[in-house]
Amino acid sequence: MRLHFQRSIVLQIAAHARESARHKQSIDERYHCDPAQPALWLVNDNGIYLMSNGDPALLDMELPERPDGTRWNVCAHARECNPHLMPFEEWWRVMREACGTADHSQVIPLEAIEEVLFTLPEGEDLVLDVTLDRTRVVPRKAANENGKP
């Protein structure tokens, strides 16, 4: 399934991942004792979104605090699966089709994102092709062949 992410937010979180001195390990990286590299995580839990693995986290100061007083991370939600803008049934269906029902995350190396991200004109979305077992960054030309900017 092709998912679209707002370029301006992806640029912000990619810069955070690139410029951070430390990076959080994903669950798989911890399990395999692999060091964390600058990356974006594709997460599915409350919708599908990208976030930086930079440490400390990039906090969203525009959203209200969580009930426990902490802040949310800056995230780029998929336009097709955004719980802030869509009815539950709609984004839940998309999330199930793309990623299944279990909460999980996939590590996308920053180089793979930036290789395409820096070729996109302002206003054009980053496109990811997401299946249950893999995620692929869609090159600009291939993304536009679907008729979507």
In a domain, residue 123? The reply is yes
Q: Which two tokens stand for residue 64?
A: 């209200």
pTM: 0.89
pLDDT at 144: 63
Residue at 66 is within a domain: no
Is 72 buried (19+), middle (13-18) or exposed (0-12) by CB count in 10 A? middle
87 vs 120: CA distance, rounded Å = 30
Give the model's pLDDT for residue 62. Answer: 87
Q: Which residue has the tokens 């803008």?
A: 85
H or E element in which residue 45 lies: strand 39-45
Structurally, the chain folds into a number of domains equal to 1
Domain assignment present for residue 134? The answer is yes
Strand order in the sheet with 47-52: 76-77, 47-52, 39-45, 104-109
The tens place of each residue's pLDDT in the chain, 149 residues long, gives 999 999 999 999 999 999 999 999 988 888 899 999 999 999 998 899 999 999 999 999 888 888 998 888 999 999 999 999 999 999 999 999 988 877 888 999 999 999 999 999 999 999 999 988 889 999 987 666 654 54
Flag whether 149 is in a domain: no
Range of the domain at 36: 2-60+71-144
Q: Cα separations (Å) of 76 from 4, 17, 53, 73?
A: 9, 14, 13, 10
Task: Compute the distance between CA of residue 88 and CA of residue 45 in angstroms, rounded to an integer.
Answer: 12
Examine residue 65 and state whether it is found in any structural domain, yes or no.
Answer: no
